[in-house]
Structure 1
């Protein structure tokens, strides 16, 4: 069995990356379910790992199987259930308790461990929260963890490393696989709607697990450093020094709006103060994995390329046909970005009437 931790937003809606993780789990169910207990030198299965028993009311899920179950911590909306149904989920574990109202990595991870199968897979999307929770789950179950997995087959797991510049194939072994799935490793795919069983849990947390938790949240402002919109966007338009000035982003921002995407910036742009650091793409900024990355006036420094290696398609707009970005792009347009992007925007406006 595979258990997927589902992140929800402030409206209790399923996050895009969690929908991707569920799709990954469902489409790779047979491979993920093939985990077998580690063999000790004596030939018997390793039963030394202890897993806390399920809380009262739990289905006690465990054992080998190809089903996909999910865990939602906090409010469970009807819209969330409907989407999980369309994503082909078999069981929804709803965990809700006053101890879990504020995010606490240790407490939330233990709640997941309590309902995890003894053999199979526990996984989450590769967001900061998903990474933190799965790391805690791995430690508490005594299992290994693979981060940023992009594929699974009979040969093992394939994960991206070095910001997507290289891939590593590995086999975790052990009884339980603990994974995070790289953002946009697959597209969310709805399937024949299921009729998932909803199992409610009310797990209290140990005092030690609540020593570190969120005590206050604040509304974001333009100067905050949240990058979730950039890292989850399917289309990113990058802007470099070629925009010319702090006031040269008009055409680029219009294109972002047309695509329903996000704006990314080079280190030079943020260093000059033209855009906030939260929009910086690169080794010292955000590493992105959109379906399409449109680089406008960006030469393609090494640190920037490290941040966009995960993009499925790169389109470069630049006056320098010898620039690294142009040479590495899937498609390139040689010309002034203001003229090119302006013409693209005009064409989109005309086609939309």
Structure 2
């Protein structure tokens, strides 16, 4: 029995959620841990996989794949890697790409797939708890295919090194990409002019601001506190919709999902879409004038007051 994990690459290393998926898959005790990487894995990716206990990294180096992401072609690579690894279970990060690629695999192989899994109750049959309704509820689901497919919800676990490193032997796959699998392919990417969404998702402290900020000029305290705590700024969807702050700072179902040690939500009501993005935070402190706001009722701690009065007082105490 073995398990295969799809690795997404960021900056020459395995992405945070991919390293989480490796830990998640290894801890299932489903046998040897394998990984699949589209393209030639950088040394950083190999090191990350070895640290996680991966025994082999299956790679596809067809020149057609170098032009950009193509979901159907990636699915073909995952299929080939699954056969090479004799995988009984395939896991991917619960990202846009991870969910799309495994959905293609499921359709091509007529298999069942569970998306956004947070925990596993049983391996045979595969019984999981998974996020639904944007993370507002959990569903218990059974996947009874011979080969089981699932994506792991972001930040369901912390990435942890294996007790002993794996060999992480790079093993090329004998695969030629079918041109029909390249009909939908990313042909160009452009760097964001400002900001870094990766910084938000990796931050251990996030200070968030919502409609209660009152306008673009109302984020001075949020920025100052985030800087003082060595954290990042996050915002609610309404803030980006109004053009007060850039989209890469948005936390929520249509923004970034975060799992910091501390999330301070200032002037944020806590709509279900926003909660879907911050529910994995270890500790949540809400600052709001409304004691009945959803964010206040769900937070670990709450301060009932105006953020424009509370934040300066906190900064004075930290000075």
TM bracket (short chain): 0.7 to 0.9
Which runs of 5 or more residues in structure 2 are unaligned? none
Alignment of 1:166-315 (within 5 A): 166-191=137-162, 192-201=164-173, 203-222=175-194, 230=200, 234-259=204-229, 261-282=231-252, 285-286=254-255, 288-291=257-260, 292-315=262-285
Cα deviations by residue, 1:316-337 (Å, 9 ceiling, x for unpaired): 0123333332222111122332
1:96 aligns with 61
**1:116 Cα deviation (Å)?**
0.4
| 1:227–1:286 contact (8 Å) kept in structure 2 | no
**1:99 Cα deviation (Å)?**
1.4
Query: 2: CA distance between counterparts of 1:239 and 1:74?
Result: 39
Distance of aligned partners of 1:79 and 1:271 in 2 relative to their CA distance in 1, 3 Å threshold: closer
Cα deviations by residue, 1:126-175 (Å, 9 ceiling, x for unpaired): 11111111111111221101000011122711111112211111220111
Q: Tell me, what secondary structure is at the counterpart of 1:69? A: strand
2:291 aligns with 321
Distance of aligned partners of 1:261 and 1:129 in 2 relative to their CA distance in 1, 3 Å threshold: farther
Normalised by the length of structure 1, the TM-score is: 0.79
Alignment of 1:16-55 (within 5 A): 16-29=16-29, 33=30
Normalised by the length of structure 2, the TM-score is: 0.87
Query: 1: CA distance between counterparts of 2:199 and 2:103?
Result: 24
Q: Tell me, what secondary structure is at the counterpart of 2:13? A: coil
- The size of the alignment, in residue pairs, is 310
Quick check: 175-184 or 290-299, which moved more?
Answer: 290-299
Query: 2: CA distance between counterparts of 1:210 and 1:4?
Result: 22
- Equivalent position to 1:138, from 87, 98, 106: 106
| 1:297–1:318 contact (8 Å) kept in structure 2 | yes
Query: 2: CA distance between counterparts of 1:19 and 1:119?
Result: 19
Which runs of 5 or more residues in structure 1 are unaligned? 34-65
| 2:156–2:280 contact (8 Å) kept in structure 1 | no
Q: Tell me, what secondary structure is at the counterpart of 1:248? A: helix
Query: 1: CA distance between counterparts of 2:82 and 2:33?
Result: 12
**1:181 Cα deviation (Å)?**
0.3
Aligned CA RMSD, in angstroms, stands at 2.5
Distance of aligned partners of 1:135 and 1:257 in 2 relative to their CA distance in 1, 3 Å threshold: farther
Query: 1: CA distance between counterparts of 2:117 and 2:280?
Result: 12
- Equivalent position to 2:301, from 324, 331, 338: 331
